[in-house]
A and B are shown apart, each in its own frame.
Chain A
């Protein structure tokens, strides 16, 4: 019996390995596909930019990819695009490929923060400048990359708080705030929470009475808000770390017989299409934008670093904030 059991386990293990190999094979195929349409390095003086994207996990990311591709065409930059499908090893391989192909500039959105020193060193040795987009790396050696282009999450939290402070200037009593946090431990969740909390500390009337993680999803936001509403009879403001959680919470607020935007003011971050629609409809009150459209800025930077110009170590994406009025005006031309 025991022997049979063992062979079975072993066979099972082999099958797992086979499945793993199969999966790797699939990703490899997908990668070579994207590599093909990039073509060979042109002999002309067009700048060649190698860009490795995290993946296509959200509407935000898709808009980000489209922006980069469109901006490259417009700026006359030859783009070699690679989709890392959420895996660091794919991304490291893509960067090594870029180095071998002797591209002029490498840009990438790191899947994770750590583990980049070796491959970035290789790029530096090959004298190819590197630009980080959207997400940072934690390398101690800051000379490994030229600049980091992305949103300032702390600032987004602060802008949200500043609008609220202005809005509740005349309030005499306490203003009860509930907070829907993003995925626990993620950089946007940590930083937005921090920025918001620091800014409202100035006004003793503003108080966060409950704060929970809604995992950046609508279902999560709704489930948490349902309990917030039952546990706290007086909620004045909802601060959600992204639009989707805010949209989920909307449903919970309506089901509880309250009017979103009036009984409970809603502040969110991101400004995706559905969120902007809710803002224009008067259900949200304020959105701090977290823009994925950093393509034009990236192309500008690529040209500068290629020409050897000095660029600041940290560049913020051009972002704005929306109120109900400005949302109505901006909505027809939104790209995502």
Chain B
């Protein structure tokens, strides 16, 4: 009991505590509304259920948000990811749609390589504007956010390109070992980024650049190169997310693919505890943030919340998460409770009540 009491503040004080609590509350609300919500069954040899949908649909957002996390860690921001999603999906689908045999694995791989290459160039463009020319990140990436969507529409000639390619579909709706391929892919990229940044000095260098670019440069870090790299990685993540989103519906819609995903990604990063000022980043937090956002969207559909009020519902949950995460707000709340409950400091039981509330 006593060890539980001493450990509790460490748990509730963790920056992911509140996002996870809200995530669990959302899932619980869904389960109460429809008990079968949490059920996962086997169908045609793979897992099937709302929970699987949530993770699968959040896979592209997780990817985009991972790239965004690194960019934000360097003190920047990347508004262009939604447009990069649209461009990469459009390039890949256009190439596949022009092939005589859309099911040929070779031509799908060529399409992926082409789209990935174009996206890397777009990332390089962002990185050059920010790191070499020194334009403010929000402006530099705003250019591509606007122009990129136009580019995507130019590639698709304003039409929705429908393709019929099994290898390409695999990225969005295929399965590996009963799991949706998109989930496996997102997990692999997350692990890769985590290992590269946390098992090497790279993560620390990124944080150093974000904390103070000039000081890190004087300390011998090539700050420019790190910033440039962050934007390229962000574009690469967005490119893969673009494959997933377009493969999910076997079509590239230059107008709608990845629309506003940059805002969701920034929100996921912030919910995950990464400061927009840069200098610190938490990959695990970003993943939880992305899952939370997708759970919110899926809940609206699953609980059949009226579309007119759905946005308000989403906004209220997000505001609640952000407020409850802010130490200043929590301190105010706790002081008020302490005042009404008497001078005694909150005990473990009281804290538990707060959690339940």
Contact = CB atoms under 8 A, between A and B. Distances in A.
B249 A219 contact: yes
Interface string B253-275: 10111000000000000000000
B301 A215 contact: no
Contacts of A61: 158
- Interface range on chain B (Cβ under 8 Å from partner): 35 or more
A231 B138 CA distance: 41
A223 B301 contact: yes
A100 interface: no
Contact of A255 (B143, B173, B297): B173
A227 B53 contact: yes
Contact of B302 (A23, A185, A230): A230
B304 interface: yes
A224 B310 CA distance: 13
Contacts of A211: 304, 307
B255 A228 contact: no
Contacts of A226: 50, 53, 301
A19 interface: yes
A12 interface: yes
Interface string A129-154: 00000000000000000000000000
B14 interface: no
Contacts of A223: 53, 57, 297-298, 301
A41 to B, nearest CB: 30
Contacts of A170: none
B12 interface: no
Interface in A218-252: 218-219, 222-224, 226-228, 230-231, 244, 247-248, 251
A236 to B, nearest CB: 17
B173 A217 contact: no
Contacts of A244: 160, 253
A251 B251 CA distance: 12
A19 B255 contact: no
Interface string B229-270: 000000000000000010011110101110000000000000
B327 interface: no
A38 interface: no
A185 B253 CA distance: 22
Given A184-B307, A210-B304, A251 B153 contact: no
Given A58-B255, A212-B300, A257-B44, 17 more contacts: A12-B139, A15-B136, A19-B142, A57-B255, A62-B159, A184-B307, A184-B308, A211-B307, A213-B307, A215-B256, A219-B257, A223-B53, A226-B301, A230-B53, A230-B302, A251-B248, A274-B251
